[in-house]
Amino acid sequence: MKKRVYSGVRATGRLHLGNYYGAIKGMLALQDDYDCVFSVVDLHAITTPYSPKLLQRNIREVVLDFLAAGLDPEKCALEIQSQLPHTDLAYLLSTIYPVSRLEDLPTYKEKKAQYPKYVNMGLLYYPVLMAADILLYKADLVPVGIDQEPHLEVAREIARKFNSMFGETFPEPKRFKTNGEYIPSLLGKGKMSKTVEGSYISLVDDFNEISSHLAKAPTDTGVEGGEIPLEGGVANLFTLLKLFSSEVTIVAFTKEYQEGKIKYVELKKVLAEDIYKELKPLQERRREFENQPDLVDTILANGREKCEKMAFSTLSEVKDKMGISVL
Ligand code: ADP
């Protein structure tokens, strides 16, 4: 049997360069050789403030971004999380995991700080649901950014504990790393994120939009010369340059920085051109799918059917092992 792969993206807005490099590039690298399930995780999207009126549209946008980026529905199954029994498995798994571990997670603390008036049970429960997302498909590999590592550790702990209590059932899922596992925010601090306005360049941005996002990105002034800094605005621009631009360009701007002659306006112009060059074919493919809504519906219906077989088989096995009736 082929090894399984699972990854999900929250339906919280348009995909950005962080999602693309941290997750989608990994999905693309794995789809040829593994049994893959790629998900729009709508149930995770509702743990932070959201608009019910926009949720279905946001789900569709992520599906279109998946297809635009090159996920091939012939090779992988696309699912919408709420249509499969993720929450059933999550509840069962939650009964074997300590609350104190969840309260200590850095991701939970960050979200509490980001939304102090929106600290809900779903947010605390997030890593258990994510463990269920992965374990429902008995996935071995999970292409996600480094920000998800604490959650993957929870998934491994749950898999180990379940196996030791009820018998060997789940593999311990590992993160599949890409060379862009952490894309920094354009604001100079933290990671690029859909839910932080001004932090991202989305996959559908045109050249002018990319240029205007980059124009607002902070740069240090007056400290140029010597080595490129390891963090801050300049470091972040060079991180993007290393992902999108040619070796010649990177070497040239590095030299200019070291000699204290760098002009950030020029760097940002070249970077905007290089980012747009990479995104343009995705945007063209996206338009093709946008114009064929019936095809997208069929892709989702087929994905759902494939996922149901795997998901209900795992759920029945888990219930049986836990002594719960499967009838
Ligand atoms: P967001 O924080 O933008 O809403 P999600 O939580 O939906 O993103 O994450 C979807 C995928 O994209 C996950 O695999 C996550 O690790 C990855 N990801 C998100 N932001 C970044 C980033 N800035 N750099 C690298 N990967 C990222």
**Amino acid found at 43:** L
Site to substitute for ligand 1 among 19, 130, 142, 179, most atoms within 8 A of C-beta: 19
Buried b (16+ CB within 10 A) or exposed e, 197-228: eebbbbbbbeeeebbebbeebebeeeebeeeb
pLDDT at 280: 98
Answer yes or no: are the C-beta atoms of 138 and 171 closer than 8 Å: yes
pTM for the full model? 0.94
CA of 316 to the centre of ligand 1 (A): 31
Highest CATH level, class, for 207-286: mainly alpha
Pick from 94, 87, 106, 79: which is nearest to 5 by CA? 79
Atom of ligand 1 nearest to the CA of 145: 16
Distance between CA atoms of residues 319 and 166, nearest Å: 10
pLDDT at 222: 62
Distance between CA atoms of residues 145 and 10, nearest Å: 13
* CATH code assigned to 4-182+293-321: 3.40.50.620
145: left (phi over 0), alpha (psi -120 to 50) or beta: beta
pLDDT at 204: 96
Atom of ligand 1 nearest to the CA of 22: 26
Distance between CA atoms of residues 1 and 264, nearest Å: 52
Distance between CA atoms of residues 142 and 151, nearest Å: 11
Question: Which tokens belong to 23?
Answer: 């997750």
pLDDT at 231: 87
Atom of ligand 1 nearest to the CA of 194: 3
CA of 7 to the centre of ligand 1 (A): 11
CA of 194 to the centre of ligand 1 (A): 8
Per-residue pLDDT of the chain (327 residues; tens, 9 = 90+): 789 999 999 999 889 999 999 999 999 999 999 999 999 999 999 999 999 999 999 999 999 999 999 999 999 999 999 999 999 999 999 999 999 999 999 999 999 998 999 999 999 999 999 999 999 999 999 999 999 999 999 999 999 999 999 999 999 999 999 999 999 999 988 899 988 889 999 999 999 999 999 999 999 766 667 888 888 899 999 999 999 999 999 999 999 999 989 999 999 999 999 999 999 999 999 999 999 999 999 999 999 999 999 999 999 999 999 999 877
pLDDT at 194: 85
Site to substitute for ligand 1 among 30, 115, 134, 147, most atoms within 8 A of C-beta: 147
Give the residue extent of every domain in the chain.
Answer: 4-182+293-321, 207-286
Residue nearest atom 2 of ligand 1, based on CA coordinates: 193
DSSP per position, 193-217: -TTSTTS--BTT--HHHHHHHHHHS
Atom of ligand 1 nearest to the CA of 10: 7
Q: How many CB atoms lie within 10 A of CB 162?
A: 22
Q: Which residues line ligand 1 (CB under 6 A)?
A: 9-10, 12, 18-19, 21-23, 144-145, 147-148, 181-183, 191-195
Examine domains 4-182+293-321 and 207-286 and report if their fold is the same: no
The count of C-alpha atoms lying within 13 angstroms of the C-alpha of 111, restricted to the half-sphere facing its C-beta, is 24
DSSP alpha helices (H): ranges in the chain?
17-19, 25-30, 42-45, 52-69, 86-94, 99-103, 106-114, 121-135, 149-166, 207-216, 233-244, 247-258, 264-290, 293-321
